[in-house]
């Protein structure tokens, strides 16, 4: 089945530094990848939609200059949290849809990244 590999699974960084999270679709091409954030005991909230070769679309309230998204190929999307602060500590997770199957096969999720900013 479709697999999305997300790295790192956990990261602790100092306040003010930047952290990059990668998501790769291993056995399918993903024109679109979605980035979510999940706070404790909350649901997944969409942050942005990443389209291969074009600029990401951000949800209302998400700072595009703080959360940089790059989708340079059909199998790789990255999320960089710039100048991280403790309030950015959260669980970040990506998902992708198979370009050929579209939505018929649902969405595949990465394993998530637990970010802790100290």
Instruction: Note the residues at the interface with other proteins (CB under 8 A).
Output: 6, 34, 36, 42-46, 49, 91, 93, 95, 97, 102-112, 114
Question: What separation in angstroms does the CA of 82 have from each of 3, 8, 86, 103, 111?
Answer: 27, 16, 12, 32, 22
Four-residue CA torsion sign, 77, 110, 93, 14:
negative
Which tokens belong to 93? 């997770």
Shortest distance, CB of residue 45 to other proteins, whole angstroms?
Answer: 8
Q: Are the C-beta atoms of 35 and 94 separated by less than 8 Å?
A: yes
Residues 106, 72: Cα–Cα separation, whole Å? 23
Shortest distance, CB of residue 49 to other proteins, whole angstroms?
Answer: 6
Nearer Cβ to other proteins (29/83): 29
Nearer Cβ to other proteins (3/16): 3
Nearer Cβ to other proteins (47/83): 47
Shortest distance, CB of residue 44 to other proteins, whole angstroms?
Answer: 5
């Amino acid at each position: 089945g479709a697999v999305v590999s997300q790295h790192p699974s956990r990261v602790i960084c100092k306040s003010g530094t930047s952290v990059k999270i990668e998501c790769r679709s291993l056995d399918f091409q993903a024109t679109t990848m979605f980035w979510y954030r999940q706070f404790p005991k909350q649901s997944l909230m969409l942050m942005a939609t990443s389209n291969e070769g074009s600029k990401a679309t951000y949800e209302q309230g998400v700072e595009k200059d703080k959360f940089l998204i790059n989708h340079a190929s059909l199998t790789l999307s990255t999320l960089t949290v710039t100048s991280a602060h403790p309030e950015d500590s959260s669980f970040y997770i990506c998902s992708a849809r198979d370009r050929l199957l579209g939505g018929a096969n649902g969405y595949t999720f990465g394993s998530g990244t637990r970010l802790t900013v100290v």
